[in-house]
């Protein structure tokens, strides 16, 4: 098997500001696996929150020989071997996981959702993310989100009330709040009580990841459901959160790919918890892989590709906010002509 890598610089439509960072662009690593004339695409979109970068993901992926992943149809075994080599580079593992599933679907001639036995008509709508910004830019982002039935609003800095007042001045659509660990316990209690009457579906990660006692304290004092993001990474994390959080946010780049995401979904269900499929800033490769799992989820926040100006791929789309899965085999994703596709060709030629 041949492995090709390409770095992709994803240019954001607006500065993407959350409680802990602000970015004009993000970088991901696109992976192509080639075996017997069939290609599988994957993507690593690492997050600095987990101590990873495009450089570290690319370095980890460069350590993988094609023979380590063979035979490609034995995905469980191939990924177990790769995980041992990648040393905790979860986004890099996700890239291989996605590419192997794409390759298998293409070999069998079926879309990934069919490979998993899922109904593509049961995809949920995705939220559209409104990052922290000035009232003028927030209003512009809301206009760009026209047609999406629900918004995800980032909070966690000093202008939370200003942001929500701007949102409500322009739309009465349901809102999901994401504080990205940005509040103290007292701040969270005050703000969540204020948000209770503002058509908010739930609040995501109001407190630092390790403060599970604080989340329990909040849940006893507020009526809004609370979802874990930074507090949960893999399936083994889920049981200890049951009874504290109402749901979890699963991200392929955080957990290591489709295989672990499925484990997380089933573990959360066994624990009586809701499931949301989320994302980093990703191209349509990573977003489409997660979208194929979305019939299993209660909620989707799969808009990372919509927040960038130069998506190097085409895949899942939306219709009135609802995720629409490609019908082609595997992921059903195609690379667009451009720097990433050219870089993959150069990598393959070495």
User: 42-62: per-residue pLDDT in tens?
Assistant: 999 999 999 999 999 999 999
Give the pLDDT confidence score for residue 345 in this predicted structure.
87
Confidence bin at 349 (pLDDT 50/70/90): low
Please enumerate in sequence order all residues whose Cβ is within 8 A of that of 157, keeping only pairs 6 or more positions apart, or say none: 17, 19, 132, 182
Domain 115-324 has CATH 3.20.20.120: yes
Catalytic residue flag (residue 178) = yes
Q: Which two tokens stand for residue 96?
A: 């291989």
**Would residue 133 show up in a list of annotated catalytic residues for this protein?**
no
Q: Round to whole Å and give the CA distance between 82 and 48.
A: 22
77 is catalytic: no
**Token pair 């809301």 in the structure block, residue:** 142
Per the residue annotation, which of 43, 102, 204, 230 is the catalytic one?
Answer: 204
pLDDT computed for residue 346 by the predictor: 84
- pLDDT tens string 257-278: 999 999 999 999 999 999 999 9
Query: 122-148, pLDDT tens digit by residue?
Result: 999 999 999 999 999 999 999 999 999
Cβ-proximal residues to 283 (8 Å cutoff; 6+ apart), any chain: 8, 10, 28, 30, 43, 45, 304, 305, 308, 311, 312, 313, 340
- What is the CATH T-level fold of the domain 2-109+336-349, as seen in this structure? Enolase-like; domain 1 (3.30.390)
CA dihedral sign of residues 102, 108, 109, 110 = negative
The percent of residues in the chain predicted with pLDDT above 70, rounded, is 99
Mean pLDDT value of segment 80-99:
96
Q: Is 34 a catalytic residue?
A: no
Q: Which residues pair with 4 in a beta bridge?
A: 32
Number of Cβ within a 10 Å radius of residue 122: 12
Task: Identify the three-state secondary structure at position 310.
Answer: coil
Q: By percentage, how much of the chain surpasses pLDDT 90?
A: 95
Could you tell me the residue ranges of all domains in the chain? 2-109+336-349, 115-324
């Amino acid at each position: 098997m041949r492995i090709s890598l390409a770095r992709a610089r994803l240019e954001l439509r607006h500065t993407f500001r959350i409680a802990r960072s602000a970015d004009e662009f993000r970088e991901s690593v696109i992976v192509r696996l080639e075996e017997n004339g069939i290609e599988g695409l994957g993507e690593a979109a690492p997050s600095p929150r987990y101590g990873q970068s495009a450089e570290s993901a690319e370095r980890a992926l460069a350590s993988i020989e094609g023979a380590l992943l063979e035979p490609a149809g034995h995905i469980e075994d191939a990924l177990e071997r790769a995980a041992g080599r990648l040393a905790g580079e979860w986004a890099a593992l996700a890239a291989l996981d996605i590419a192997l599933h794409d390759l298998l679907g293409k070999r069998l001639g079926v879309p990934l959702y069919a490979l998993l036995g899922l109904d593509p008509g049961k995809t949920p709508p995705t939220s559209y993310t409104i990052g922290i910004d000035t009232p003028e830019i927030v209003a512009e982002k809301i206009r760009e989100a026209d047609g999406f039935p629900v918004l995800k609003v980032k909070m966690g800095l000093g202008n939370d009330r200003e942001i929500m007042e701007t949102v409500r001045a322009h739309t009465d659509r349901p809102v999901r709040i994401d504080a990205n660990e940005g509040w103290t316990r007292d701040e969270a209690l005050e703000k969540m009580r204020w948000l209770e009457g503002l058509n908010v579906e739930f609040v995501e990660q109001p407190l630092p990841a390790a403060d599970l006692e604080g989340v329990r304290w909040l849940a006893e004092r507020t009526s809004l459901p609370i979802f874990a993001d930074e507090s949960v990474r893999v399936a083994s994390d889920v049981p200890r959160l049951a009874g504290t959080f109402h749901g979890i946010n699963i991200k392929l780049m955080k957990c290591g790919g489709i295989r672990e995401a499925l484990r997380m979904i089933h573990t959360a269900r066994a624990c009586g918890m809701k499931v949301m499929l989320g994302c980093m800033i990703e191209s349509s490769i990573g977003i489409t892989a997660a979208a194929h799992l979305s019939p299993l989820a209660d909620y989707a926040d799969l808009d990372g590709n919509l927040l960038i100006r130069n998506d190097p791929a085409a895949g899942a789309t939306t219709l009135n906010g609802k995720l629409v899965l490609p019908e082609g085999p595997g992921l059903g994703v195609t690379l667009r002509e451009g720097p990433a596709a050219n870089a993959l060709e150069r990598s393959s030629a070495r």
